[in-house]
Structure 1
């Protein structure tokens, strides 16, 4: 399994992140979500933590197992809006404790 993260600037103060998880193995893999949360992230501006996606949020209680066949991907579009000028770093990871290595980071400037 492999994770990737890209960004696209959509306005002067906004970017869209695309977090993708791909099954790079030869066997079907299972992603298990234990709530409505599919991913989490932390956002830093000029080296200072300014946001954690899950902080202060409540997610629906649900248990869902999603099979991913070899070569298949799951995409998560993450909009970041109303950003002030500065240098940003974001770290994104899958909200499945069975896949702790499915995380990526990217840096961008507004």
Structure 2
């Protein structure tokens, strides 16, 4: 089983995001990925659900299968930066893009 938390730091109009994924079980667990992308981050307007920014839309990822093993209690952190975010309030969601398990989290961000 995996648990996730999402932290956001706003500096001017840039939003730094960190999705921390922890193996909360007593056994080693593995996540399998189809390419180099490990996590997806999406910013939405909370009132309408409209997607304003999506991390994966502006990236190219390597085409290589990968497996990441997590020991019991081990945490991996995946990061992204939303550059030049427009001012406003946003719901930011993030999740692993693994084929065999999922970990997701969300937070609220205010950009001045």
| TM-score bracket, shorter-length normalisation | 0.7 to 0.9
Deviation at 1:65, TM superposition (A): 1.1
Counterpart residue number, 1:82:
84
Output the CA distance in 1 between the equivalents of 2:100 and 2:7.
Answer: 23
- Any residues of structure 2 matched to 1:30-41 within 5 Å, and which? 30-41=30-41
Output the CA distance in 2 between the equivalents of 1:56 and 1:80.
Answer: 11
Going from structure 1 to structure 2, the CA distance change for 1:56 and 1:16 (only over 3 Å counts) comes to: closer
Deviation at 1:56, TM superposition (A): 5.8
Going from structure 1 to structure 2, the CA distance change for 1:56 and 1:108 (only over 3 Å counts) comes to: closer
Counterpart residue number, 1:71:
73
- Normalising by structure 2, we get a TM-score of 0.86
Output the CA distance in 2 between the equivalents of 1:27 and 1:33.
Answer: 20
Counterpart residue number, 1:53:
55
The CA RMSD measured in Å over matched residues stands at: 1.5
Matched residue count: 108
Where 1:62 maps in the other structure, the secondary structure is coil
Structure 1 runs of 4+ with >6 Å offset: none
Where 1:54 maps in the other structure, the secondary structure is helix
Runs of 5+ consecutive residues of structure 2 not aligned to the other structure: none
Where 1:92 maps in the other structure, the secondary structure is strand
